[in-house]
Amino acid sequence: MESAGSVSFLRNRRFDSFFNTSSEPNVKEPPKIPVKQVDYKPLRLNKECVDADDDDGWFCVLISWVRIVTCFVTMMVTTFIWALIMLLLLPWPSERIRQGNVYGHVTGRLMMWILGNPIKIEGTEFSSESAIYISNHASPIDIFLIMWLTPTGTVGIAKKEIIWYPLFGQLYVLAKHIRIDRSNPTAAIQTMKEAVRAVVENKLSLIIFPEGTRSKKGRLLPFKKGFVHLALQSRLPIVPIVLTGTHQAWRKGSLHIRPAPITVRFLPPISPTDWTADKIDDYITMLHNIYIENLPEPQKPLV
């Protein structure tokens, strides 16, 4: 997942054409279905710091730094423990995938508890099937939420350089997640095809950030085409995950963590069974519009 799971597939015009989008929609959007809701209570919330600026009082800054350091230490400890587990499971790739997800569930939940953000989770009934899970991306917090909330049997897609991230990168590889060589479009496309085959054969799920990179201001960016190609090849349903508030909780370029409220909403799965390759741009526009409808005004793209 970039930063543990998302990937930007740009850098090459040929490869860019495989993932980029622009077209008018003529595809029917799925019906809206009522969703279940779960409220998650984190570590004690400091309400006075919710709307604070980066240079606000020393108390809020101190609390923020304590949370960040605690998160870092906790993540290093859990990553080291699961790296040892993965080494013991080298002969069993499928079990390594499962343990990679267990690591994500434990570590992601711990990170969010330490950061102290109140979280509302909606549509959990749509979070347990084999699917291609997609999510908007505006904060490092998104990574923790995805690690925690995606189902067991989910693999991510990241740039090949992730292996050089201390401990985490090695664990990512041991957990059988997918790495893409962005500098080699032909190899990257072949890797994606092989990944689809493995996902289908082993009844796995995929998680990807369709924007391809993190939004600087929290506003939704255009979607790349990669996840639709994956859906066409695998025929797995697409489950949109809509994240709101994470860009306020941890702003880009800042080390000030705010206990701002966050909402995670799983939307009903969208089946690609009847999709055809000649309408890829329409499907992307349709899915992009679904996000626009479900995001608050400050996170909608500027026209």
Q: Got the DSSP string for 145-167?
A: HHHHHSPTTEEEEEEGGGGGSTT
Question: Residue 204, SS3?
Answer: coil
**247 in any annotated domain:** yes
**4 in any annotated domain:** no
Structure confidence at residue 258 (pLDDT): 84
Q: Percent of the chain at pLDDT above 70?
A: 81
**145 in any annotated domain:** yes
**1 in any annotated domain:** no
**159 in any annotated domain:** yes
**266 in any annotated domain:** yes
Counted domains in the chain: 1
Tens-digit pLDDT profile for residues 248-301? 998 877 778 888 899 999 999 999 999 999 999 999 999 999 999 999 999 999
Which range marks the domain in which residue 179 is found? Answer: 13-29+36-295
Quote the CA–CA distance of 266 and 98 in Å, as a whole number.
21
**302 in any annotated domain:** no
For the ranges 20-24, 95-99, 177-181, 282-286, which has the lowest average pLDDT?
20-24
Residue 289: give its domain's CATH number.
Answer: 3.40.1130
Structure confidence at residue 63 (pLDDT): 86
Q: Measuring CA to CA, how many Å separate 293 from each of 105, 119, 263?
A: 29, 20, 15
Q: Is the confidence at residue 7, as pLDDT, over 50?
A: no
**3 in any annotated domain:** no
The residues, ordered by sequence, that sit 6+ positions from 90 with a Cβ below 8 Å of its Cβ are 96, 174
Tens-digit pLDDT profile for residues 231-241? 999 999 999 99
User: Phi then psi for 189, rounded to 5 degrees?
Assistant: -65, -40
Residue type, 93: P
